[in-house]
Amino acid sequence: MTGTLLWETMFGVMIAGWLVFAWTFFARKRPAQSKERKRVSASFGAILLQGLGFGLAWSLRRVPFTPIFSARMWLQVVLALVACSLIVFALWMVNTAVRTLGKQWALAARVVEDHQLIMDGPYRLVRHPIYAGMFMMMIATGLVVGTWQGLLLGSVLFLLGTLWRVRIEEKLLTETFGSAYDEYKRKVPAFIPWRLAARSNA
């Protein structure tokens, strides 16, 4: 396989991944919504920062169907496999998280009537698997079409927005679940599943 064919293939994988990602939020059948108890509109500012991060990763592009930096063929294959693995894992995390949340999922940070503390599925790995999946999709996008500068700047903006959003959401959840959520925070990382890697190396 030539380098051009490799990155053409990865471009197709990336586009397919983004179509599945978009379907998760915009085309799937949504469960009946519950009555809101509290909503924090400031969370939309955090979403804007996350979106700007994605925009940089998408818009600062390199020459089409070339590696993100000059590399031998074996290293290009490794980079392509990393990008593909990130896409697959990200789609699993996002789809499973949205289905697990059900009627509790919303774009805005909020709690609803009879809100439950979810700790199953991908929530056993990270407290915010949707943001983890989004970050993995952004890294994969940068590896396939972006420049390292765009990926770096985009990651900084995305992480700033995510930290802002996490702080807002976790304040709401701590107010709602108290010590139960504090214990969950102590055991499970926020959105980077580093403890999974620690377990696998144990």
Backbone angles phi, psi at 8, to 5 degrees: -65, -45
* CATH number attached to the domain at 38-201: 1.20.120.1630
- The answer, as to whether pTM is greater than 0.85, is yes
Whether 142 contacts 57, CB under 8 Å = yes
pLDDT by residue (tens digit) across 151-161?
Answer: 999 999 999 99
Q: Tell me what the pLDDT averaged over the chain comes to.
A: 87
Report the distance separating Cα 85 and Cα 80, nearest Å: 9
What type of residue sits at position 67? P
Whether 108 contacts 40, CB under 8 Å = yes
Domain ranges across the chain = 38-201
Report the distance separating Cα 165 and Cα 14, nearest Å: 26
